[in-house]
Structures are given as structure tokens and as C-alpha cells.
Amino acid sequence: MFDLGLDDKVVLITGGSDGLGRATAERFALEGAKVVICARRSERLLQAVDEIRKQSVQHLDKDPEKEVFGYSADVTNPEDCINLISNITSKLGGIDFLINNAGVSSAAGLEKLNEAEWLADFHLKVMSAVRLSKLVVPSMRMRGGGCIINASIGGGKAPAARSLPTSVMRSAGLNLTKSLANEFAAEQIRVNAICIGLIKSMQWVRRAGNKNPQDLYDDMAKRIPLGRVGEAEEYADLVAFLCSKRAQFITGTSVNLDGGMCPVI
């Protein structure tokens, strides 16, 4: 049996009410972990928590209300971050895994962006990861180790034209990943990044508008060497593996999950 060893581990997933974050929460819940998701929209967050609880109870002999939790928080707000980690630590005793998943795709040319847009993306994609990582390290240290996963994109390694400000922020996230991995490796706190390619998510559904999202996915697939768009569950599986005891010798790396799109190894 390929046991990931995630049972009763505490995982915090930012941006966990939809898309890739939601799929990751479901994966950890099915592995028996205690799952905490946070998001800004309270109504959608509570709905996601309820749905994940109903799904997990079908597979696990546990009380779902003691296994899946949701906290409304804006990760760009320092006070929200402090309260979030404090509440989780008080309720569950600590945090084993942090998945810095919150973020939206922003892609434009230099002359199209104003300073406020640059700063908003910086706080969402870089400073949120910095703040939350700093806040969870003491808990992980006390628990004998842990794992931080930073969501990134291939554009953080090989930026395309008019991919600002996201490509810059994701590049900073890759630097942060390597820096933290080197700093905390001796304490068994592992830090890795996943460079996401074109994967099915709510942002693409919203972008499709009234059109069938599958038509958009079919068009996107023409750019991908493997010939298809990725599934949210494939991202969730990789996150779970990188956090697991099966990946204890992996830190400081960025894994491309993009069907072969990124030209950089």
C-alpha cells in the first residue's frame, strides 16, 4: 500500500474554496488529514467546507466536523494572517503543511499596468506567502518538521511577453521557495514550488463566460505538448505527494506541472 502518511496531519490551504485549492482540500481530507481552507468570500467558503465534509464522511470513519474547517481571511491583510494562524493553532494544536495557493492570473504589458496593480499582485502572491510562512515556521519547528508548498507558474522561470505582473511575482516566489528551503532544511521543514501550466480551474470557467468551457480547454490544448489541459486533481495529487513521508528527501525544488509547456527544466 502506498501510504502517504497524512492521517491526522494539519494542512492549511489558502484560496481553498474553489478550483485547485478546493481539489487539494478534498485530496487531503480523503487521506485523513485535518483540513483548513481559507478564502475571502465567507458564503462560498462555508459551502465548500460543507461539501468537503459530506464527501469525506463517505470514505472515512471520522466526524467530518472535526476534520474540515474554514476561516474567512484576506491573505493580503497582515492582521488576518496573524488571526488565521492563531485560530488554527488554538483549535488544532499546530500546523504541519502550508499550501500557499491563493492567487489570480494577471497578464498585461508594461504600459497597461499602473502602480496599484503591481502592488496588489505583490501583496497577494509574494507577501502573503512570506507572512504565512513566517507565522507557521514556529509551529512546524515544535512538531519536528513540516512542509510549505508555493503555487507558481512556468512563466516564473521563462516569462512570455505581456505576462506582467504575474510572471515577476511568481519568479519572486521561486526565489522565496529556494531561500526558505535552504534556511530551514536542518529543522526538517521542506519548501517546494509547483509551476502550474494550463489546468482546469474556475478562472477559466469564468473567462469562458456563457460559452462552453470545454471549447476553451480544447483550444488551449493545442499549445500543450501532451495535447490536453491538466486536471485539478493532478495538482492536488502532486501537492499531497510533496507533503507526504514519501517525499521527505525533496526540498528546494520547483516541479513543472504543465504537460511539457515550460521550456525550462
Helix axes 128-142, 166-184, angle to 10 degrees: 20
- 3-class DSSP state of 116: helix
Q: What is the pLDDT along the chain (265 residues), one digit of tens a residue?
A: 578 999 999 999 999 999 999 999 999 999 999 999 999 999 999 999 999 999 887 777 788 778 999 999 999 999 999 999 999 999 999 999 999 999 888 899 999 999 999 999 999 999 999 999 999 999 999 999 999 999 999 999 999 999 999 999 999 999 999 999 999 999 999 999 999 999 998 888 888 888 898 999 999 999 999 999 999 999 999 999 999 999 999 999 999 999 999 999 8
Which residues touch 27 (CB under 8 Å, ≥6 apart)? 233, 236, 237, 239, 240
Residues contacting residue 264 through CB under 8 Å, at least 6 positions apart: 154, 157, 158, 256
Residue 15: closest CA among 187, 251, 232: 232
pTM: 0.95
What is the Cα–Cα distance from 34 to 16, expressed in whole angstroms?
Answer: 14
Whole-angstrom distance, CA of residue 32 vs CA of residue 129: 25
The fold of the 10-198+231-256 domain, in CATH, is Rossmann fold (3.40.50)
Contact assessment for residue 231 and residue 126, using Cβ atoms and an 8 Å cutoff: no
Domain spans of the chain?
A: 10-198+231-256
